[in-house]
């Protein structure tokens, strides 16, 4: 089973063949048939009739948020495309029913009230993690690594919700949550980088238009693969719809999959993971002689120079040089010199998660390395499961299924796809023979929009999207030096879904509020 927001387990982009069905999500289609819906039903005389055209099924409810009230809307919004038949306009055809949950504070001025569009990653993840973990007015009660909550878990008010500062729209991409293609549609047409981006962009444009929010400040929040989507959307929304954003919020960022994918002959991921390995070793008590920040700084200094040099030397390293590097790596990772030598100084992340606490009979989690579990095989080279995901999945699944029906009033017999493998294989056909990267998209968006600000949130114990890889990407953005001050950073002692850690959730909520204020003309929190 896939983990949420799991870019490192997606197909390797250069090897991804893709098929023609995953090439795009067009806003205009050419049709040679007059029938715009292939699904049929028999009428009273036995003749086939087209299925009824789908319609939005939004449910609206009212709620309290402190001393204020807000309106929640939950349901599926129908996305349509223009139909061109023999060169002539043939109307609009439904293609996707996209599930959204929106919260709008009552009585606010839409001209000044920001609106934030949020989504998670995967690919294949619903938006439940950001929705019920960090941003929304209600949150999951799941406990944490030292005090996990037992089933059936629960929900609580979230007074730190970003709703205090911005209206919120949570988006489930195609095949996640309750989002589905229409009858007769092909889900695989949307299971790829570009069609996924385009479908989410169309939902944002449509929601903005219908709710008269074109003059509102606008933000995107993406997590993990969702940061790839958000960076791509920043440019696409401007080019396709003319929509300018005020801010991008990138949580557990991965902007170039080549920085985190381990492949033979590519040493970069080993370099980028080293500071994360040090943070995890420190958390589990293997580097007791230094602080967390010192452990990470030591590993980063080694990675930036001598470790990178040693890996580039390959078999040209002398035995003494190899032994010296193994000793220095052991000092920052907590692994044994013998293991590092047997690994040829290169420890892939799944191997690290299995090896670090093997002497204690434990493996550590990938999404959140603070969590540990008992491996099925203590001699296995890699972990057989993610010890952190199973602590997180069940509370969010229970909360989402209860909350949407019991509190927001949206009823459906469809399974709410928290995280699904049904989107695989995911197409990166636009990136054939090169790494999947949105660095140019983000840089272009920042160059074109001098007011766009970016906030990046890192988890020290995130084993899925290592912090050094994201910092490497930010350092290579082709933007004027003066614009680098428009990128804010925050580090938290937590994992991939960093808000699972309660002190981090509170601190991160305050940091996001500061960022929204800054990006809408307020003071710079870093000044």
Residue ranges per domain, the chain?
23-29+54-259+394-519, 268-347
* Alpha-carbon distance values, 438 to 273, 393, 479 (Å): 20, 29, 14
Largest CA distance in the chain: 88
Please check whether residue 314 is in contact with residue 346, taking contact to mean a CB–CB distance below 8 angstroms. Answer: no
Q: Is residue 190 scored above 50 in pLDDT?
A: yes
- Cα separation of 472 and 418, whole Å? 31
Residue count of the chain, please give it. Answer: 527
Which three-class secondary structure state does DSSP give residue 398?
Answer: helix
Q: Which residues, other chains included, contact 191 with Cβ-Cβ below 8 Å and sequence gap of 6+?
A: 22, 123, 174, 175, 423, 424, 425, 426, 427
Average pLDDT over residues 214-237: 98
* Alpha-carbon distance values, 155 to 83, 235, 332 (Å): 44, 36, 40
User: pLDDT tens for residues 264-318?
Assistant: 999 999 999 999 999 999 999 999 999 999 999 999 999 999 999 999 999 999 9
- Cα separation of 17 and 13, whole Å? 8
DSSP state of 189: G
Q: Which residue has the tokens 């008992």?
A: 374
Strand partners, 88: 85
Q: Is residue 3 scored above 80 in pLDDT?
A: no
Please check whether residue 525 is in contact with residue 488, taking contact to mean a CB–CB distance below 8 angstroms. Answer: yes
CA torsion 508→162→391→389, rounded to 10°? -80
Among 437, 473, 436, smallest CA distance to 13 is for 436
Please check whether residue 303 is in contact with residue 259, taking contact to mean a CB–CB distance below 8 angstroms. Answer: no
Query: How many Cβ atoms sit within 10 Å of the Cβ of residue 278?
Result: 29
Please tell me the number of Cα atoms within 13 Å of 339 on its side-chain side: 18
- Cα separation of 246 and 308, whole Å? 37
Please check whether residue 259 is in contact with residue 442, taking contact to mean a CB–CB distance below 8 angstroms. Answer: no
Please check whether residue 252 is in contact with residue 498, taking contact to mean a CB–CB distance below 8 angstroms. Answer: yes
Please tell me the number of Cα atoms within 13 Å of 386 on its side-chain side: 23
Determine phi and psi for 426, rounding to 5 degrees.
-90, 130
Among 45, 139, 12, 92, smallest CA distance to 436 is for 12
- Cα separation of 14 and 32, whole Å? 35
Q: Is residue 24 scored above 80 in pLDDT?
A: no
pLDDT at residue 82, as a whole number = 87
Kindly give the interhelix angle for 268-283 and 467-475, rounded to the nearest 10 degrees. 140
- Cα separation of 190 and 425, whole Å? 11
Model confidence at 46, in pLDDT bands (50, 70, 90)? Answer: low
Q: Which stretches of 259-407 are DSSP H helices?
A: 268-283, 292-302, 308-313, 319-333, 337-342, 349-355, 389-402
Q: Is residue 16 scored above 60 in pLDDT?
A: no
Strand partners, 111: none
More confident residue, 101 or 21: 101
More confident residue, 32 or 258: 258
Q: Is residue 22 scored above 70 in pLDDT?
A: no
Q: Which stretches of 242-318 are DSSP H helices?
A: 268-283, 292-302, 308-313
Q: What percent of the chain has pLDDT over 90?
A: 85
Determine phi and psi for 437, rounding to 5 degrees.
-140, 140
pLDDT at residue 26, as a whole number = 37
Kindly give the interhelix angle for 319-333 and 268-283, rounded to the nearest 10 degrees. 40
User: pLDDT tens for residues 121-169?
Assistant: 999 999 999 999 999 999 999 989 988 889 999 999 999 999 999 999 9
User: pLDDT tens for residues 357-390?
Assistant: 999 999 999 999 999 999 999 999 999 999 999 8
Q: Is residue 32 scored above 70 in pLDDT?
A: no
* Alpha-carbon distance values, 169 to 66, 104, 118, 138, 201 (Å): 20, 9, 6, 14, 13
Q: Tokens for 85?
A: 């038949």
User: pLDDT tens for residues 165-182?
Assistant: 999 999 999 999 999 999
Architecture of the domain defined by 23-29+54-259+394-519? 3-Layer(aba) Sandwich (3.40)
């Amino acid at each position: 089973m896939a983990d949420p927001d799991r870019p490192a387990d997606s197909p390797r982009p250069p090897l991804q063949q893709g098929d023609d069905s995953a090439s795009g999500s067009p806003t205009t289609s050419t049709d040679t048939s007059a029938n715009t819906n292939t699904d049929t039903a028999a009428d009273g005389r036995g003749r086939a009739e087209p299925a009824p055209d789908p319609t939005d099924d939004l449910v609206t409810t009212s709620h309290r948020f402190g001393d204020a009230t807000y309106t929640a809307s939950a349901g599926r919004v129908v996305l349509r495309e223009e139909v061109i038949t023999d060169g002539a306009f043939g109307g609009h055809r439904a293609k996707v029913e996209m599930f959204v949950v929106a919260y709008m504070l009552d009585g606010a001025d839409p001209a000044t009230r920001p609106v934030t569009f949020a989504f998670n990653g995967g690919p294949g993840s619903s938006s439940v993690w950001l929705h019920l973990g960090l941003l929304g007015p209600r949150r999951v009660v799941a406990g944490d690594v030292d005090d996990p909550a037992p089933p059936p878990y629960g929900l609580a008010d979230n007074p730190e919700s970003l709703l205090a500062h911005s209206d919120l729209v949570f988006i489930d991409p195609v095949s996640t949550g309750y989002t589905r293609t229409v009858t007769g549609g092909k889900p695989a047409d949307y299971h790829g980088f570009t069609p996924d981006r385009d479908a989410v962009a169309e939902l944002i444009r449509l929601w903005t238009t219908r709710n008269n929010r074109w003059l509102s400040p606008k933000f995107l929040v993406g997590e993990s693969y969702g940061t790839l989507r958000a960076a791509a959307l920043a440019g696409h929304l401007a080019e396709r719809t003319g929509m300018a954003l005020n801010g991008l919020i990138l949580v557990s960022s991965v902007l170039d999959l080549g920085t985190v994918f381990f492949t033979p002959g590519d040493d970069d991921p080993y370099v980028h993971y080293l500071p994360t390995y040090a943070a995890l070793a420190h958390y589990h008590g293997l580097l007791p002689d230094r602080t967390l920040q010192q452990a990470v700084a030591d590993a980063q200094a080694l990675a930036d120079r001598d470790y990178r040099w040693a890996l580039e030397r390959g078999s040209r390293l002398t035995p003494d040089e190899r032994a010296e590097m193994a000793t220095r790596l052991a000092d920052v990772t907590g692994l044994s010199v013998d293991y590092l030598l047997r690994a040829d100084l290169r420890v892939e992340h799944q191997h690290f998660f299995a090896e670090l606490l093997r002497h204690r009979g434990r493996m550590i989690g990938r999404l959140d390395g603070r969590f540990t579990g008992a491996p099925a095989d203590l001699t296995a080279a890699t972990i057989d499961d993610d010890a952190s995901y199973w602590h997180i999945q069940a509370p969010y699944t229970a909360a989402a299924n209860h909350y949407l029906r019991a509190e927001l009033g949206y009823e459906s017999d469809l399974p709410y796809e928290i995280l699904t493998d049904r989107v695989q294989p995911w197409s990166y056909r636009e990136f054939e023979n090169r790494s999947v990267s949105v660095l140019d998209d983000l840089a272009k968006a920042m160059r074109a929009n001098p007011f766009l600000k970016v906030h990046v949130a890192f988890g020290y114990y995130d084993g899925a999207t290592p912090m050094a890889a994201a910092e490497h990407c930010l350092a290579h953005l082709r933007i004027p030096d003066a614009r680098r001050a428009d990128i804010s950073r925050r580090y938290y002692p937590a994992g991939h879904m960093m808000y699972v850690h309660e002190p981090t959730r509170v601190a991160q909520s305050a940091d996001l509020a500061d960022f929204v204020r800054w990006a809408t003309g307020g003071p710079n929190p870093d000044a």
